[in-house]
Structure 1
C-alpha cells in the first residue's frame, strides 16, 4: 500500500510559543474560549488533518510568580478530555487525542473516560500515554515528589494493560437489545478482568460497550531508552522532538526496528516529528515574524523555560553569561530532551543566557514560504525520516490559518496529502488496524471498524 502523509495539529489555544499570547492576533482568553477553539479545530478538519492533540500538565509549574504571571499556556486551559468531548459534537472526521497520565490517574476511571470519548465522537479518540514530568504534579496527588523514572514506566506498563483489558469488557456484538426476549446484552459476551498485579487490583468489567475503534488510538512521546521501549511496545502514533533530518531518520528507524522485535508490524507505528512552521508569502516576511515573536518573550520566562526542560533546576544563582554548570540528575525532565539541550550547550559553547534564547526562540522552526515548508515535509517523508508531522502553531490563529491555506494546498498539489478523509474513524484515516479483543473467537475482531453502537454519533 502506498504510504500516506499524516498531519496532526498540536493545539495550544494560546499558541505553542510562550509569548504567543502577546501577539496582536491572539485571542485574550483563548485557553477557555470554546467557540474560538472550535473554530480552530474546524479549520484543521476542513484542511483534512488527521487529528488534533491536546497536551496537559496537571499542576501549576514550580516557577516564581514573576514567571508564572507572564505565561498563559499552562495556567489557563480546559481539562483535555472534557474539551475533546465538546469538540466531538462540533466536528465529524478529525481525530481527538488527549494526554492523560499513568502516574496520577486510576485505570478504571481513565478507561471509562476514553471509551466514552470514543463513543461520543463515533470512533475518533486517541490517548497520549504519558508518565508526567514534575514534582508539582506529584504534590497534587498526595506525594512529596515525582516518582523515579524507572518506577513511572513500570507503572505505565501495568496501567496500560489494565486499561486495554477493561476496554475489552464487552464483545463487539454483546448488545443485542432484544425487546421481545427482554435481554439487553448477551451474558456470555461480558468479561471481568480480575487484574491482580504489583501496582493495581481491578476487578472490572467496564460499564460501557467496547469502543467503536476497539480501543482509542495510542499515542506516545517517550524518547529515552525506557520511553522508546514503551513506544515500540504500545504506541501507534509516536510524537518525536527530533530537530534535524539525521536525528529523525535514526529515531524513526530505531522505533520501527524495536516494534518488529516486539512482534509488531512497523507499518502500524507512525512516527510524527514536531514541526513548528513560520510561513508567509515571502521568506523575508516569515523571518521578520519569527524575530518579532521571539522579541515578545520576557528574558526571565526564557530562562524558566530552559530550567523546565533541564528538569526543574534553578539557574538564577549562576552567572547567566557563563557556561551551563554540571547538573544533578532529575526525575522531572524528559531525559532525551534534557540531554539534547546539554549537548547543544557543550557543542556550541553557549552561555546560559544564549542557551535560554536558543531554546525559547524556536530555532528548530522551519521559516519560509509555503514551498519551503512543503520541501521540508516532502524531504523528511519521502526519505522515511517521518510518517508525517505533529504541527505546532506558535501564534494563533495566524500560523494555523496560513498553514492550512498555504502549505496544505501545496502538499495536495504535489500529491503528498489527501484531499478527502479515507474513513470516519481516526484508525481508518491513519491506516491503523482495529485491535482484536483479547476474548475474541476466530470470527471476531476484524480490522474494519464496528459501527453498530456508534452510527448515531458519527
Structure 2
C-alpha cells in the first residue's frame, strides 16, 4: 500500500473558536459540552469510521467574551477515561498545559489513561495562550514566550523519563518466590533543571504502546522548534496547499536538524469540511456561516490574540490603536502580524478586525468526491500526513464518515480496518524502548 491518511476527530461540544451562536442549532444540546454521553456519541462515530483518534482541546481561562463551549466543558483526561471504557481501538488525545502543570502530575494522569485505554493515550502539549490563566494558578503574570517554551521543552523530557520509571518486565508477580516487583528495574528520576525539580519514580507502569503519543500545536518559531524536537504529531492550520507544503517542509527539516527522522512526526492540519450534493450548495452554506457572524462577535474572537483586550473602548473607524507590547505574552505571533499589517496598510480598527476574521474559501468545501480529491492531492503533494476534523454538527460528521471515508478507502489511502489496538500502532509510530532497558542492552553489546 502507498501512503495512508491519518484522520482524527475533535469534539467541541457547542462550538470551537469564534463560534458564538452554534449552541442554538437544533441539532445540538445546549449543554453538550458538559454531557459525557455526547462525547461518547462522537467517539463512537469516529471509531465506526476507523478514524485514528478522538481529540479534546482545552483551556482553563474564561471571560465574558469566551465562546459558549469554553464557558462550560469537561476536563479532558476525566472524560477520556470514561470514553476509554466504551471504545476499543480509537486513540484518545487530551490537551494539558505545559505551563500550569507539574511533570509528575502530567506523567501520572496520562500514564493512567494509557493503561485504562490499553495503550491509546496521547498528550497534546500546549503552552497556554491566554494571559489571564496566570491568575487561576496564583501567578501575578503570565509566563513570557521564552519561559513558556523553555518549560515546555523541559516538562516533555521529564515526563517521558518518568514514564520509563519501570522497565517493561519489572513486575514478575511471582507467587512462588513472593516477588511482586524487581526493584533493580525501578528507576528514580533525579532532575534539577531551569524550571522543574523532580526526584523519585512514577508509581505506574508503561502500557503496551510504551508511552503516550506526544501531540503539539504551535506556529511561532518557538512552537515549531518545540514540535520538531519533541512531538510525534502536530496539529496545525493551512489555508491552502502552498501554505500546507511550506509548513510540512519546514517542520520535517527542523526535525532532521534536531537529529530525528522526518517520518517521526505526522503533520495534521485541522479542517472543517462542508459537504453538500453540489459544490454550489456547499459554497452557499459556507458563505451563510460567514455572514451570520456580527461585528461584535468577530471583535470578541479577534481580541483573544491580545489577551482578551477590550477593544470596545476604541473608535472602530479610527486608525488601529497603538497597543505597544500588548499581546506579547499571549498570541505573540498573531498579535504581531496584526499590528504590523494594520500599520503598513493604514487600516482602521474595523478594517483590521474584518481582515483578520474573514475566512478565505476553504479547500475542503464541496461534494464528498471533491473533498476526497483534495485530501488525496494534499497527501500526494506533501502537504499533510492526515487531518483533524473540526466539525461541530452531528450531520456534518456523519456525512464525512458515511460519504468521504468510503471514497478514501476505495482509493486505497485510508484503512478499512484498524491495523493495531494502540494509538501508536494505528499512527504507524515506533514504540519507544524503555531508556534503561536500552542502555543496559547497549552496555552488554559494547562490553569487551
**What TM-score, normalized to structure 2?**
0.91
Please, which of 301, 315, 319 is the counterpart of residue 319 of structure 1? 315
What is the aligned partner in structure 2 of residue 178 from structure 1? Answer: 174
1:142-199 deviation digits (Å, cap 9, x = unpaired): 1122101001111111111211111000001111111111111111110011212222
Residue 323 (structure 1) shift? 5.1
RMSD in angstroms over aligned alpha carbons?
Answer: 2.3
Between stretches 348-357 and 218-227, larger displacement belongs to: 348-357
What is the aligned partner in structure 2 of residue 454 from structure 1? Answer: none
Q: 2-side partners of 1:443 and 1:288: how far apart?
A: 62
- Mapped pair 1:388 → 2:386: yes
- Mapped pair 1:141 → 2:143: no
Residue 218 (structure 1) shift? 0.3
What is the aligned partner in structure 2 of residue 440 from structure 1? Answer: 437
Note the 1:287-302 alignment, pairs <5 A: 287-302=283-298
Residue 274 (structure 1) shift? 1.8
Note the 1:376-455 alignment, pairs <5 A: 376-393=374-391, 395-441=392-438
- Mapped pair 1:261 → 2:262: no
Residue 359 (structure 1) shift? 4.8
Distance 1:4 1:444, change over 3 A: farther
Distance 1:377 1:223, change over 3 A: same
Unaligned runs of 5+ in 2: 443-448
- Mapped pair 1:110 → 2:106: yes
**What TM-score, normalized to structure 1?**
0.89
Asked if structure 1 preserves the Cα contact closer than 8 Å seen for 2:282 and 2:366, the reply is: yes
1:416-453 deviation digits (Å, cap 9, x = unpaired): 211111100000000000111121147879xxxxxxxx
Distance 1:288 1:235, change over 3 A: same
Unaligned runs of 5+ in 1: 446-458
Asked if structure 1 preserves the Cα contact closer than 8 Å seen for 2:272 and 2:389, the reply is: yes
Aligned residues: 438
Asked if structure 2 preserves the Cα contact closer than 8 Å seen for 1:13 and 1:396, the reply is: no
Asked if structure 2 preserves the Cα contact closer than 8 Å seen for 1:52 and 1:96, the reply is: yes
1:335-377 deviation digits (Å, cap 9, x = unpaired): 3344555677679886543554565564353321112212221
Aligned residue for 1:36, secondary structure, equals: helix
Between stretches 16-25 and 90-99, larger displacement belongs to: 16-25
- Mapped pair 1:153 → 2:149: yes
Residue 14 (structure 1) shift? 1.3
Q: 2-side partners of 1:343 and 1:403: how far apart?
A: 39
Q: 2-side partners of 1:345 and 1:19: how far apart?
A: 28
What is the aligned partner in structure 2 of residue 47 from structure 1? Answer: 49
Q: 1-side partners of 2:48 and 2:168: how far apart?
A: 31
Residue 2 (structure 1) shift? 3.3
Distance 1:371 1:325, change over 3 A: farther
